[in-house]
Structure 1
Amino acid sequence: MESSEQIEMPRVKLGSQGLEVSKLGFGCMGLTGVYNSPLSEEAGIAIIKEAFNKGITFFDTSDVYGPKTNEILIVGKALRQLPREKIQLATKFGIAGFDLNGMSVKGNPEYVRACCEASLDRLGVDYIDLYYQHSIDRSVPIEETMGELKKLVQEGKVKYIGLSEASPDTIRRAHAVHPITCVQMEWSLWTRDIEEDIVPLCRELGIAIVPYSPLGRGFFGGKAITEAIPSESFLARLPRFLGENLEKNKELYAWLEKLSGKHNCAPAQLALAWVLHQGEDVVPIPGTTKVKNLESNIGSLKVKLSEDDLKEISEAVSVDVVAGSRLPSAMEPFSWRFANTPLPK
């Protein structure tokens, strides 16, 4: 089931405000580095166009990717070669600075507006379909941030609003100011902590979930298993890809590989199919720099799993036996799990 031939891309409602997207999105972050060397501008544009030609219309970027070059060089230029009215474009603001020692975040109204205007310019568009707060600034009441986002919606510069790495309390408070269309959170077979609190809350409020890193940052696609990690890659800093943690986690991959044979698909396809089966309100955004991986991801839509299958996979690749935290220690304070602790100065 490696090929995506003859697969008609399903379309789903994202949240309850009317946004419709392809059931599978495309995360653009990796096109300008982070995990591997950046693609050339031509190669990045080509894979976005290839994804669109295969039915993907939901593309995700951010002002911090590159930084800024992801919006300018790849997404913006690719969009000019595609019919804008058929694209659902998501971008983000809020991470003002980022390196391996941590991040700085901002959410004050002036910053929100400045970021939106700058992204519109870089992307070369009149409006952003879905605008996320990428990371929550706990020094600014979420009501103030949302108030400015609401103004941007009223002005037509933004169509829908999303949150990323937001705690349940933040989501509920933000939604009271203006409807939240979706939350973007890490969700995969080895990162499942949103299932207890975030997912039920979103379903109560009519908010969709957009899982990022649905393949475990590429682990279930063979990163560090069948494919070496470059020393400069962000993955080389993630605890789950290091030393004894990696050796233990390879056992999870072996289990998944064994199960994928039963379903006549690749391990990556089974892992992505598991995420896709979590609900109609779930739209994962795997990213890739290779057409063969794009085709494999789309092929996961053909993998049909029963409730018994889902249970078997969940138990075989149990989150309880995942070794290592999901983020480097310097970045953990910015996770939604740490919402009640002050951010580093």
Structure 2
Amino acid sequence: MKTRVLGKDLEVSAIGLGCMGMSHAYGPAADKKEMTELLCKAVEKGYTFFDTAELYGTCENPHDNEELLGEALKPYRNRIVLASKCGIRFDESSSEVNKPLIPDGRPETIKASVDGSLRRLQTDHLDLYYIHRIDPKVPVEEAAGAMKELIDAGKITHFGISEADEHTLRRAHAVCPVTAVQNRYSMMYRDYEAIFPVLEELQIGFVAFSPLANGFLSAQYNKESKFEKGTDYRSVMPQFTPEAIDKNEEMLRYLKGMADRKNATPAQISLAWMMAKKPWIVPIPGTRKYGRLIENAQAADVELTEQEVKELDNMLESVPMSEVFGGSKIKK
């Protein structure tokens, strides 16, 4: 697979693998043996960038995902880039499917969290470590200072922030250079295009999570699609309602048309579109299926012309589009 560079020097596969869905938010955790095999196949197929977090798991096993990756990827550790995150926990008192998040960006929390992640991931360092959400009660400079200490100690090599705006990024970057921001980005969620100029200026990479709008842009869902109640976030996401399926029909029809013209799939067009925007954008779609793993990887070879990107942008500005899931609530 082609590669891209995040920040000044973190080289990763052009498409990364978001591993959350193997353990969390897409129904009960998947079979560990199957996911271990899938992760090994991902390495064989050229994926070098694997994304997890300390809280991707279940009530029974809160750190399931890091433990899965630690065991599965141990034989390939010197060939891959491992990214994890700290700084939030779930509000377990909530009965919602998608529980609100409680941020905790205190330096002592960050330092304790990295030790847990290193142990579970069976490694002596993380290649990229993110503050998972900004804690409004802790100045971001303090969190960035803790990350700088972790770099100096050799526990991490690069610092990232998830769901950050320009002001936050500038403040954090002044204390410890930020290698990547990981924000939600897809054809249906484009809010963070506003920070592209500052990322260019500061030489910060953009890691796009939910690049297919939680799978919706694969064009594989319809009104009969069923999601496990209680464990699958898609069961409460606005883009998967019957009304939304109708409202998004024109957009998906256009996407399929472009896919046919380019001998690609709608998912590949969606990924190729964002990669054509900037050379430092790296999408990290997730999957539990080998076929999707390959399909997503091959998106790196789909090249859109400037005119085709403009066509897609114009379409996104003009056709009807439903609401789309915009992220878990942050508990005040």
* AA at the equivalent of 2:222: I
- Structure 1 window deviating more from structure 2 (264-273 vs 151-160): it is 264-273
Shift of 1:298: 1.4
For the pair 1:70 / 2:61, whether they are aligned, the reply is no
For the pair 1:80 / 2:74, whether they are aligned, the reply is yes
| Separation in 2, partners of 1:132, 1:236 | 28
For the pair 1:179 / 2:211, whether they are aligned, the reply is no
**CA offsets per residue over residues 238-288 of structure 1, 9 Å max, x none?**
122224233212332122112211111111111111122122111111111
1:93 to 86, 91, 102: 86
1:156 to 154, 157, 165: 154
C-alpha contact 1:256 1:316 (8 A) present in aligned 2 = no
**CA offsets per residue over residues 70-96 of structure 1, 9 Å max, x none?**
001x201112232x1111000000112
C-alpha contact 1:189 1:319 (8 A) present in aligned 2 = no
2:145 to 147, 156, 161: 147
SS at match of 1:153: helix
2:5 aligned partner: 13
| Separation in 2, partners of 1:207, 1:262 | 33
| Separation in 2, partners of 1:226, 1:170 | 40
SS at match of 2:11: strand
| Separation in 2, partners of 1:223, 1:104 | 33
C-alpha contact 1:192 1:319 (8 A) present in aligned 2 = no
Unpaired stretches in structure 2, ≥5 consecutive residues: none
Question: What is the alpha-carbon root mean square deviation over aligned residues?
Answer: 1.7
2:270 aligned partner: 271
2:113 to 91, 112, 115: 115
* TM-score, structure 2 as length reference: 0.92
Note closer, same or farther for the CA distance 1:81–1:310 as it changes in structure 2 (3 Å cut): same
Shift of 1:44: 0.9
C-alpha contact 2:250 2:320 (8 A) present in aligned 1 = no
2:49 to 58, 61, 64: 58
1:290 aligned partner: 289
4+ aligned runs moved over 3 Å, structure 1: 317-321
| Separation in 1, partners of 2:135, 2:177 | 19
1:165 aligned partner: 163
Note closer, same or farther for the CA distance 1:290–1:101 as it changes in structure 2 (3 Å cut): closer
Shift of 1:225: 2.9
C-alpha contact 2:223 2:245 (8 A) present in aligned 1 = no
Matched residues, percent identical? 38
**CA offsets per residue over residues 89-116 of structure 1, 9 Å max, x none?**
0000011225624111100011111111
**CA offsets per residue over residues 205-229 of structure 1, 9 Å max, x none?**
1000000111111001135339824
For the pair 1:34 / 2:12, whether they are aligned, the reply is no
Note closer, same or farther for the CA distance 1:209–1:155 as it changes in structure 2 (3 Å cut): same
* AA at the equivalent of 2:11: E
- Structure 1 window deviating more from structure 2 (310-319 vs 207-216): it is 310-319
Unpaired stretches in structure 1, ≥5 consecutive residues: 1-8, 335-343
- Structure 1 window deviating more from structure 2 (253-262 vs 148-157): it is 253-262
SS at match of 1:298: helix
Shift of 1:235: 0.9
- Structure 1 window deviating more from structure 2 (313-322 vs 157-166): it is 313-322
**CA offsets per residue over residues 34-56 of structure 1, 9 Å max, x none?**
12342211111111111110111
1:322 aligned partner: 321
Shift of 1:14: 1.1
